[in-house]
Amino acid sequence: MFEKLGHVLVRRRKAVLALFIIAVIATGAIGSLVFSRLQDGGYSDPKSDSAQVTQYLSETFNVQDPAVVLLVDAGTTLSDPDVVMRATNLENAINTDPEVTRTLSYWSSGGSPLFVSKDQKASYIFIYSKDKDPTVATDLAKRILDAYQGKKFGFTIYVGGYATFSYSISNQISKDLALAESISIPLTFILLIFVFGGLIASAMPLVVGVSAILGAFFALYLISLATGVSIFALNLVTGMGLGLGIDYSLLMVNRFREELHHGRSVEESVAITVKTAGRTVFFSGITVMITLASLMFFPLMFLKSFGYAGVTVVAMAVLGAIIPLPAILALLGHRIDKFTVRKSAITPKEDGRWAQTARFVMRRPISIVLLTLIFLGLLTAPIQNIVFSQVDAQVMPASSAIAITAKVTTERFPGQEGNPIQIIIPQSSADSPEVISYREALKALPGIERVDPIEAIGTTLRFSAIHTMSSRTPKAEQLINDIRALPAPSGTLVGGVAADYADSQAGIARTLPWALLWIAIGVLILLFAFTGSIILPIKAVILNFLSLAATMGAMSWVFVEGHMQWLTGSFTVTRTIDTSMVILIAVVAFGLSMDYELFLLSRIKEEHDSGKSNIDAVATGLQRSARIITAAAALLAVVFATFLTSGVTSIKTLGFGVAVAILIDATVVRAFLVPALMRLFGERNWWAPEWMKRFTISH
């Protein structure tokens, strides 16, 4: 099938290229519309108890969270007549904004102590918007930030709240993405010239990468018409698009050159390239897509979005590599080697240092396995200190308005007034002994500042509990679990930000085993079909988990313990790491590891099927693929490493985690562990029961 496709692409190369250009222009134009549709947040489980509480609050009690929260520091007593006058003028000014429906503060509430700081010199001003969902009022948040942040009306004003956080993080990510791309694209192109050895060849990854990115934007736009898509998905699209463009182009161009240098015609070279490297790209892409599709299992829109983004960008990269790229190679022919800057990249040695490395490793397989396992074990060790949490204001730079506001709020106010725990008790009455007993037990829990009076509509009760710790932390999660463990009236629901966080963590934990099972089964089946071996797929999965464990250990050492900020850039050390980002990094790194595994195994199998012994097949296969794998890994690591320039800690974590995972896998695992284990297993590497061999793919 692939060989026939190669011949068709050669014969129709001009038409294929013309259609490709039209498709890129069309998808780019439509795909650009996705930027206005991307959403912030997405960390909630929509089927959780906390989601039901949100629905009750909105539909039954008509409760709305403030979109923006001002922390107003008067510097003196809040009841001072001059302070009251200036505060009234401030609230009146805010209420002139057409998106503001009302404000609420110490002054406008008649002196409510709920709004007052511990030192009695500062108050909240809650600003409510016309939008029912406060997180979408980002335009309002921007105007409030611009107009009121700092010294205004004789006060020191700090701006926070849901909408402000959404606006701040999306604005920061947009700036960071532009900076990362301004670094990664020119740097990558320079490295591409060095790796490919010529100016013409080095442009091929841009053909695949740019088409993959634009195609993914188009697909995400269509998906956004039906469901929410997180703005964070943009980072994965650009990183994976450029990275896979490099990976797949290196494999295809290298094989095309190899066939040309063996004296074959351009058409034969393209056909063989599509038949061999194209097949590898196709099945490698399917493997990565299966892995990334596991993200769609999770209930959080944030993780689902990365699943959508990952699957679409990989699919587009595969299409770009096996359809327009061969057509371009057919048009270029021998001109692919024009404008040479490094001749050794064009004509690699048949038996060079990678083959020598493989033979060295295979002479001492047990020692190499032990040493590499010790090395990976040392990297893994800090994983024992890993603590999980979720994104809050502390992921922003310490100098940002939202981070400063969060810090001042924690220091100066006695509880999380803006993020209360919300309790809903349907079908009950306020004077019920069960309700009274439950409220008393709730008040006695450590971490609860106070329990507010009951509000009843019909037989549905609602009241709030103010807690002292930050809402999206392990301590808050434990508090929610303690509350839910209390004897409570039938049907009691616990909601609020802390409960939303606890439910999200529980949703991830509940879904994770199924996602892992999907990945394991999918990868094992596909690798078996590709290699015809029972042993090789099992080894591949085990080795990938080993490299992932080492990556998680390194991430814990850096982001939980706070080391190496000279490399990553400064960030607030919270002693925790974002759960969703850990899942994302693990899945992306696993998928890319399988990408390189297929690159290597396909070439080893090709050599073994040609009649070479296991040792010679491994040595030759490593010689002909390791250069591609290490070059692709280095380039992809550069793309993701530029995310370290981000001011958002989560994006730093993504860049660091994926870059480290790629480098560990492409060097330690592929160069040492794989050939050592191939030597130890010998011809048993290729064993499978005869009845199963009919399910394999013919090479």
One-character DSSP codes across 143-192:
HHHHHHSEEETTEEEEEESHHHHHHHHHHHHHHHHHHHHHHHHHHHHHHH
Distance CA 297, CA 539 (A): 25
**Which domains are seen in the chain, by residue range?**
1-37+197-348 (1.20.1640.10), 67-160 (3.30.70.330), 397-503 (3.30.70)
Q: What are phi and psi of 366, to 5 degrees?
A: -70, -45
Mean pLDDT of 52-70: 87
Distance CA 280, CA 357 (A): 24
Residue 349 has pLDDT above 80, yes or no: no
The reported pTM is 0.84
Mean pLDDT of 594-621: 83
Q: How many helices (H) and strands (E) does the chain have?
A: 26, 12
137-156, pLDDT tens digit by residue? Answer: 888 999 999 999 999 999 99
Residue spans of alpha helices (H) in 197-278? 199-202, 204-224, 233-261, 266-273
Query: What integer pLDDT is reported at residue 557 of this predicted model?
Result: 94
Query: What integer pLDDT is reported at residue 352 of this predicted model?
Result: 67
Report whether 620 contacts 355 (CB < 8 A).
yes
Residue 346 has pLDDT above 60, yes or no: no
Query: What integer pLDDT is reported at residue 344 of this predicted model?
Result: 58
Average pLDDT, the chain: 87
Query: What integer pLDDT is reported at residue 421 of this predicted model?
Result: 92
Mean pLDDT of 160-164: 87
Report whether 484 contacts 496 (CB < 8 A).
no
382-429, pLDDT tens digit by residue? Answer: 998 888 887 778 888 888 888 898 888 888 887 666 678 999 999 888
519 Cβ partners below 8 Å, 6+ apart? 290, 291, 294, 587, 590
Q: Give the lowest-confidence range in 170-179, 412-421, 511-520.
A: 412-421
Mean pLDDT of 120-136: 85
Distance CA 544, CA 546 (A): 5
Going by pLDDT thresholds of 50, 70 and 90, the confidence category of residue 350 is low
Residue 266 has pLDDT above 60, yes or no: yes
Alpha carbon distances (Å) from 29 to 255, 331, 439, 638? 33, 27, 57, 28
Provide the 10 A C-beta neighbour count for residue 181: 16
Helix (H) or strand (E) holding 350: none
